[in-house]
Structure 1
């Protein structure tokens, strides 16, 4: 690892945690709540994460889902930058094929100017939605081609972030502002930082690409657990040292929820399970209440799906969640765990992160 970018990737394990712990939030909207309520909860979660010793706070890009209000990560992150002081903020992720690389470079250059030295740019190649919505976002039906062009899009975005297109390139005179070009103007001063690029994935494609480019990699264990170990092995075996990292750095996303007792934890995670069931069966909606989830009549196949999904959610008392996270970190060799918590009630989500922090004795910012 070299330079300020490498320093931005690695974080020391806090308290008694075996690896750094971070937070991924989707600004989920529960039944009976508004998107404004959800986004205010996101702010409260970010401030709690900063206060309670978590390393990063990321938000994810999703579209056309009533129960997810995080369609515009850059807008949310700008708001979070005004309400936090130290925690790293980032996207988990921005779906690059949905956007022109120059636009992303400008948005995250602006975020870097607002929150110097603490911006992560996590990038994915999936649409973050269904095919029709992706076509509407991109104004094209060539979704497969857009995904296949991901390495080229990533290279273009990196060039804009570094302002280093070679002579003769059609974008040599195009500059992402805020960005390095401002240092070349009379009286200009170069910012010491730029957004730290991560690659995200749920299969082997981004794992191999991240390794080849020497970038940090975040794997979506929370919805593709069967692929976690193969993807991490591929990332590590493909890794080539770079100006960013001299050794691989792998983070995994984990669904987790802690409560004061097992029954309450189960009651809360069932709201996320029912929400996921409806999404996977083409009925996306708001996150249901615990009462609705308790009263839902699951069919045999629905029950099978739900139990399979819950098997990958680390939930229970604080000690049970800590033990589950420790075991997962050991089994995967992950360098960092990023927790995501889906529950109907904002208070339950806030309480979960507080309990995890206490279980690991993460340092309180005071």
Structure 2
């Protein structure tokens, strides 16, 4: 869809509409990856360029994810990045994939995303995760001694939704506290209520958030790109336990998938090996910048590292545009996903941008 027409359909864009010959809506997840020899400024500039490309080519959503203390990832502050992107896009939905809620006070998140909604009405998604998005020591620094953790996630979600809806009961200690911008401005004298508020999504890589999303009747995004073995069980749990709500009358499952398309198979493999080496270093306590293809080719891989890399690459759909399309279509058939969210982990900004263009071409969007 070269003209960038909005693909949103249904309440708050949750129900997307497939365009061209894509079987389901296609979206983008970006981590603002920082490559060797580049800066965070360059990485964030690429994120902006990618969001504009995604809008122009007809991708449905553009999300950024919260990570901390990782030199190769510049997306530690999703709300800040999204605020920047609201001024540089016009139609595409923007959101978090996700905000790691245990790291934040729910009121602060409600205020941040209420502000984003005011900047880009009807275009903001609030995806929530319960993991810290980092290691334990960094999580402790983020939380400043707070003892609430992942097990408190359901109550944190409930608190956040109450602030978003401004509907604490009169007897509640928070009844006179309001997330601003938010609904209270519509109920104030002379106020006008905004018709929108950011829809809440739950994100997960196991059954915990799948079950919670089902119980609350919320859309669910599963991280197939790093937890592929859990995809089918989590989706089955989500669908079987789903309870209709004011948000959704049926389950809606988005699947995150790592993919990279290039003009030929060799170049695609050359690019994805940079992401594989990044993952090896991360898993062995040596997190750093994303290496260049030349660094990955010259790296002295040990047998164990090759095994880790091969395991990671087995979940990356890569190759020519037609091969990537076939892999994505197979994932939709296998999982019954309602939407695919593609993330591309490679050193080269040009390779990442080219990949999203090629995938759009393969689907005729």
SS at match of 1:117: coil
Partner of 1:226: 229
Tell me if 1:158 matches 2:161.
Answer: yes
Q: 2:261·2:320 contact (CA, 8 Å) conserved in 1? A: yes
Partner of 1:52: 57
Tell me if 1:178 matches 2:181.
Answer: yes
Partner of 1:75: 80
| Mapped partners of 1:6, 1:315: distance in 2 | 33
Tell me if 1:33 matches 2:30.
Answer: no
Partner of 1:13: 18
| Mapped partners of 2:134, 2:157: distance in 1 | 20
Tell me if 1:297 matches 2:281.
Answer: no
Superposed structure 1 runs of 4+ greater than 6 Å apart:
none
Tell me if 1:274 matches 2:277.
Answer: yes
| Mapped partners of 1:8, 1:150: distance in 2 | 25
Across the aligned residues of Structure 1 and Structure 2, the Cα RMSD in angstroms comes to 0.9
Tell me if 1:284 matches 2:287.
Answer: yes
SS at match of 1:24: strand
- Unaligned runs of 5+ residues in structure 1 are none
Partner of 2:261: 258
* 1:101 equivalent among 89, 97, 106: 106
SS at match of 1:282: coil
Aligned residues, how many? 357
* 1:328 equivalent among 320, 326, 331: 331
Q: 1:31·1:289 contact (CA, 8 Å) conserved in 2? A: yes
Residue range with higher mean Cα deviation, 307-316 or 4-13: 4-13
* 1:127 equivalent among 124, 132, 145: 132
SS at match of 1:149: helix
Deviation at 1:244, TM superposition (A): 0.2
SS at match of 1:94: strand
* 2:350 equivalent among 347, 351, 361: 347
SS at match of 1:179: coil
Deviation at 1:7, TM superposition (A): 4.5
Deviation at 1:6, TM superposition (A): 3.0
Partner of 2:252: 249
- What are the superposed Cα offsets for residues 283-306 of structure 1, whole Å, 9 maximum, x if unpaired? 000000000001111111111111
Residues 100 and 7 from structure 1, CA distance in 2 versus in 1: closer, same or farther, beyond 3 angstroms? closer
Deviation at 1:14, TM superposition (A): 1.4
- What are the superposed Cα offsets for residues 299-328 of structure 1, whole Å, 9 maximum, x if unpaired? 111111111110100000000000000000
Partner of 1:199: 202
Partner of 2:214: 211
